[in-house]
A = this chain, B = another copy of it.
């Protein structure tokens, strides 16, 4: 759907030839802009409640800027994930209003402040200090998507009492994100204490048979606590996104 057909549709709505509900439906799955190296999915916001997020890895900064330019016209917020400092600086030169979070490798362009629309509270827990960058990515994502988010860092199972001090915080959360590397045991313990859904995020922190995060991942998938589901290794973004989707199930 190009700019002209979009305009025509809206004119038809304006003139009463098309009723709004029908227009909403046709907009839902059609509007795609082809800029050669990308098919930008402009109506993802409508369909999914949040615009397309740009995966920075493997794209040049020119490609990222090109996509952002098209999106900027229509969206309130743009997220770029997995973008390294050098590439980010090139993008910041073009979009000075954007902010870059180096540890989380995330760039955010906020055209206007987003309201808090999520119904409950999201709690993000990390097992160790070295897991914080991934936890941060989850935090920035969930926050950008309109949720109240709290964090609790470095409460791994080697000193399990650190976690128990915060039991009321745990019980108050609607959704919990638990980030852990090495043996990935923390989500099982946390999920055993609460009834809310727990999203486990394995990290690549560790060495030897941590196998770049595979061990933590498999551990979490084998959790003996049943209210646990899992996302990819180091995928803080995905965890934040899923948590937000859960926290918005009543805003359908």
Contact = CB atoms under 8 A, between A and B. Distances in A.
A146 interface: no
Interface residues of A, number: 119
Contacts of A114: none
Contacts of A36: 153
Nearest to A42: B159
Interface in A108-132: 119-120, 127-132
Nearest to A132: B37
Contacts of A212: 208
Stoichiometry, as copies per complex, reads 8
Nearest to A202: B208
A246 B143 CA distance: 19
A115 B237 CA distance: 36
A221 interface: yes
A221 B157 CA distance: 14
A31 to B, nearest CB: 9
A149 to B, nearest CB: 15
A41 B157 contact: no
B174 A225 contact: no
Contact of A161 (B30, B155, B162, B211): B30
Contacts of A6: 24
Contact of A29 (B11, B13, B50, B165): B165
Contacts of A246: 197, 246, 249
A242 B227 contact: yes
B237 A221 contact: no
A232 B39 CA distance: 26
Interface of A: 6-7, 10-11, 13-14, 16, 19-21, 23-24, 27-30, 32, 36-39, 41, 44, 47-50, 52-53, 55, 57-59, 63, 67, 82, 119-120, 127-133, 153-162, 164-165, 167, 174-175, 182-185, 188-189, 191-197, 199, 202, 204-235, 237-239, 241-242, 245-250, 252
Given A183-B223, A215-B222, A229-B229, 9 more contacts: A14-B14, A37-B129, A58-B133, A119-B249, A119-B250, A183-B188, A229-B238, A229-B239, A249-B249
20 contacts: A10-B23, A14-B16, A14-B20, A38-B129, A47-B193, A57-B205, A157-B192, A160-B192, A183-B185, A183-B188, A189-B189, A196-B249, A208-B212, A208-B235, A209-B222, A214-B218, A218-B219, A226-B237, A226-B242, A227-B245
